[in-house]
Amino acid sequence: MNATPLVELKNLEKEFAGTKALKGVSLSFLRGEVHGLLGENGAGKSTLIKILTGVYAPSAGEIFLEGSPVRVSSPPEAHRLGLGAVYQDAELVSSFTVGQNILLGNEPGRIGISDRAIHDEAAEILSQMGIELDVRRLAGALSAAEMQLVTLATLFHRRYKLIVLDEPTARLSAAESEVLFRIVDGFKAQGIAIVYISHRLREVQQICDRATILRGGLVSGTLNRGEVTEDRVTELMVDRSRSELATYNDGNSVRPEVLVEVAGLGTAQLAPLSFKIQAGEVLGFTGPVGGGMEDVARALGGISRHSGTAKVRGKAVNLATPIAARRSGIALIPEDRRKQALFPALSAAENICLPVLHSLQHFLMIRPGTMKRYAEAVLDQLAVRPRASSTQVRFFSGGNQQKLVIGKWMSAKATVYIIVEPTNGVDVGAIKEIYDIILQLARDGAAVLLISSSLNEMLALADRIMVIHDGNCVAEAPKKSWTYDDLLAVTLSGKSRHTASPPHVTRSTEEESR
Amino acid sequence: MTHVEQESLAKANTAKGTAVNAVPAGRRESAVMRFLRQWGTIIVLVVAAVGFSIASPYFATASNLNNILFSMIVSALVSMGLTWVVIAGSFDLSIGLTVTTSSILVAFLIPITGPWLAIVFALLAACLIGVVNGLLVTYGRLSGIVVTLGVMFVLDGINVFITGGYQVPVSYDETAFLYLGQGKLGIVGVPVIILVAVFIVALIAAARTRIGHYIAAVGDNPMAAFYSGINVYRWVILAFVLSALMSGIAGVIVTAISSSAQPVGGEGYLLEAFAAVFLGATVLGKGKPHLFGTLVGVFFLYMVDSGMNMVGFPFAARHIFQGLVLIVAVGANALLNREEVHLKFI
Number of other residues whose CB lies within 10 A of the CB of residue A350: 19
> Which residues in chain B are contacts of A112 at CB distance < 8 A?
208-209
Instruction: Compute the CA torsion angle A193, A197, A203, A206 (nearest 10 deg).
Output: 30
Q: How far apart are the first and last CA of chain A?
A: 39
In angstroms, the separation between the Cα of residue B107 and the nearest Cα of chain A is: 36
Query: Measured between alpha carbons, how far is A476 from A273 in angstroms, rounded to an integer?
Result: 11
Query: Is the pLDDT reported for residue A338 higher than 80?
Result: no
Residue A180: exposed, middle, or buried by beta-carbon count in 10 A (0-12, 13-18, 19+)?
buried
Helix (H) or strand (E) holding A382: helix A368-382
Give A216's pLDDT tier (boundaries 50, 70, 90). confident
Q: Does B16 touch chain A (CB under 8 A)?
A: yes
In angstroms, the separation between the Cα of residue A480 and the nearest Cα of chain B is: 31
Query: Measured between alpha carbons, how far is B110 from B341 in angstroms, rounded to an integer?
Result: 55
Q: What is the 3-state secondary structure (H, E, C) of B241-297?
A: HHHHHHHHHHHHHHHHHHCEECCCCCCHHHHHHHHHHHHHHCHHHCCCCCHHHHHHH
> Which residues in chain A are contacts of B226 at CB distance < 8 A?
75-76
Alpha helices in A250-301 (DSSP H): 293-300
Cβ of A268 within 8 Å of Cβ of B7? The answer is no
β-pair partners for A416: A330, A447
- Are A431 and A442 spatial neighbours (Cβ–Cβ below 8 Å)? no
Beta A7-16 vs A19-29: how paired, if at all? antiparallel
In angstroms, the separation between the Cα of residue A95 and the nearest Cα of chain B is: 7
Helix (H) or strand (E) holding A315: strand A315-317
Residue % of chain A over a pLDDT of 70: 91
Beta-carbon contacts of B283 under 8 Å, excluding residues fewer than 6 positions away, are B41, B42, B290, B292, B293, B296, B297
Name the E strands within chain B.
Answer: 168-169, 184-185, 188-189, 260-261
- Omega prior to A386 cis, within 30 of 0: yes
Among A165-174, A286-295, B271-280, name the most confident range.
B271-280
Cβ of A107 within 8 Å of Cβ of B213? The answer is yes
In angstroms, the separation between the Cα of residue A383 and the nearest Cα of chain B is: 34
Tell me the C-alpha to C-alpha distance, in Å, between residue B154 and each of A18, B123, B195: 49, 18, 28
For A258-513, the fitting CATH number among 3.40.50.300, 2.40.50.100, 3.30.70.1380, 3.40.50.12780 is 3.40.50.300
Q: Which amino acid is at A281?
A: E
Q: Considering only the beta carbons, identify the residue of A91, A158, A176 that sits closest to B7.
A: A176
Average pLDDT over residues A270-298: 87
Q: Which amino acid is at A469?
A: H
Nearest chain A residue to B14 by CA: give it: A271
Query: Is the pLDDT reported for residue A172 higher than 50?
Result: yes
Cβ of A113 within 8 Å of Cβ of B209? The answer is yes
Cβ of B216 within 8 Å of Cβ of A113? The answer is no
Q: Can you give the pLDDT at residue B238? A: 97
Q: What is the CA radius of gyration of chain B?
A: 23
Residue A165's SS3 state is strand
In angstroms, the separation between the Cα of residue A33 and the nearest Cα of chain B is: 24
- Helix-helix angle A144-155:A115-129, to 10 degrees: 100
Number of other residues whose CB lies within 10 A of the CB of residue A509: 8
Residue % of chain A over a pLDDT of 90: 14
Q: Can you give the pLDDT at residue B65? A: 92
Q: Can you give the pLDDT at residue B337? A: 65
Nearest chain B residue to A133 by CA: give it: B2
> Which residues in chain B are contacts of A173 at CB distance < 8 A?
7-8, 10-11
Cβ of B18 within 8 Å of Cβ of A272? The answer is yes
Q: Can you give the pLDDT at residue B119? A: 97
| Domain A7-92+142-242 is found in CATH 3.40.50.300 | yes
Q: Can you give the pLDDT at residue B180? A: 94
Q: Does B22 touch chain A (CB under 8 A)?
A: yes
Supply angle C-alpha A173, A178, A182, rounded to 5: 145
Cβ of A75 within 8 Å of Cβ of B17? The answer is no
Beta A7-16 vs A315-317: how paired, if at all? unpaired
- Are A29 and A164 spatial neighbours (Cβ–Cβ below 8 Å)? no
Q: Does B29 touch chain A (CB under 8 A)?
A: no
Q: Can you give the pLDDT at residue B21? A: 32
Query: Measured between alpha carbons, how far is A408 from A418 in angstroms, rounded to an integer?
Result: 13
Q: Can you give the pLDDT at residue A514? A: 37
> Which position has the higher pLDDT, A56 or B206?
B206
Q: What is the CA radius of gyration of chain A?
A: 24
Give A46's pLDDT tier (boundaries 50, 70, 90). confident
- Are B169 and B122 spatial neighbours (Cβ–Cβ below 8 Å)? no
Q: Does B230 touch chain A (CB under 8 A)?
A: yes
Cβ of B15 within 8 Å of Cβ of A132? The answer is no
Most A CBs within 10 Å, among B227, B288, B337, to test the A interface: B227
Query: Measured between alpha carbons, how far is A92 from A86 in angstroms, rounded to an integer?
Result: 11
DSSP characters over B78-104: HHHHHHHHHHTT-----HHHHHHHHHH
Q: Does B25 touch chain A (CB under 8 A)?
A: yes
Average pLDDT over residues A191-216: 88
Residue A340: exposed, middle, or buried by beta-carbon count in 10 A (0-12, 13-18, 19+)?
middle
DSSP characters over A477-492: EEGGG--HHHHHHHHH
Q: Considering only the beta carbons, identify the residue of A79, A91, A112 that sits closest to B209.
A: A112
What is the sign of the dihedral through the CA atoms of B312, B317, B318 and B324?
A: negative
Query: Measured between alpha carbons, how far is A275 from A381 in angstroms, rounded to an integer?
Result: 32
Q: Supply the mean pLDDT for chain A.
A: 82
Conformation bin of residue A420: beta by default, left when phi > 0, alpha when psi is -120 to 50: beta
Q: Which amino acid is at A28?
A: S
Query: Measured between alpha carbons, how far is A452 from B251 in angstroms, rounded to an integer?
Result: 62
The values of phi and psi at residue A273, to 5°, are -135, 140
Task: Look at residues A143, A153, A149 and name the one whose alpha carbon lies nearest to residue A168.
Answer: A149
The b/e string for B272-293 (b: 16+ C-beta within 10 A; e otherwise) is bbbbbbbbbbbbbbbbebbbbb
Number of other residues whose CB lies within 10 A of the CB of residue B138: 18
Q: Does B234 touch chain A (CB under 8 A)?
A: no
β-pair partners for A22: A14
Nearest chain B residue to A104 by CA: give it: B228
Average pLDDT over residues A473-489: 84
Residue A514's SS3 state is coil
> Which residues in chain B are contacts of A96 at CB distance < 8 A?
216-217, 220
Q: Can you give the pLDDT at residue B16? A: 31
Q: Domain extents for chain A?
A: 7-92+142-242, 258-513
Cβ of B288 within 8 Å of Cβ of A269? The answer is no
> Which residues in chain A are contacts of B217 at CB distance < 8 A?
93, 96, 100, 104
Cβ of A267 within 8 Å of Cβ of B8? The answer is no
Query: Measured between alpha carbons, how far is A177 from A193 in angstroms, rounded to an integer?
Result: 19
What is the sign of the dihedral through the CA atoms of A321, A324, A328 and A330?
A: positive
Q: Considering only the beta carbons, identify the residue of A94, A112, A149 that sits closest to B221.
A: A94
Residues of chain B with pLDDT under 50: 1-27
Which B residues in the span 205-224 are in contact with A, Cβ-Cβ below 8 Å?
208-210, 213, 216-217, 220-221, 223-224
Q: Considering only the beta carbons, identify the residue of A104, A270, A304 that sits closest to B15.
A: A270
Q: Using the 8-state DSSP alphabet, how is residue A395 labeled?
A: G
Tell me whether the CATH fold assigned to A7-92+142-242 matches the one assigned to A258-513.
yes
- 3-state class percentages of chain B: helix first, strand second, coil last, to nearest 5: 75, 5, 25
> Which residues in chain A are contacts of B7 at CB distance < 8 A?
145, 173, 175-176
Supply angle C-alpha B272, B34, B341, rounded to 5: 75
Q: Considering only the beta carbons, identify the residue of B11, B17, B220 that sits closest to A94.
A: B220
- Helix-helix angle B31-55:B291-311, to 10 degrees: 40
Q: Which of A19-28, A495-504, B283-292 has the lowest mean pLDDT?
A: A495-504
Give A395's pLDDT tier (boundaries 50, 70, 90). confident
Q: What is the 3-state secondary structure (H, E, C) of A75-119?
A: HHHHHHHCEEEECCCCCCCCCCEHHHHHCCCCCCCCCECCHHHHH
Q: Does B46 touch chain A (CB under 8 A)?
A: no
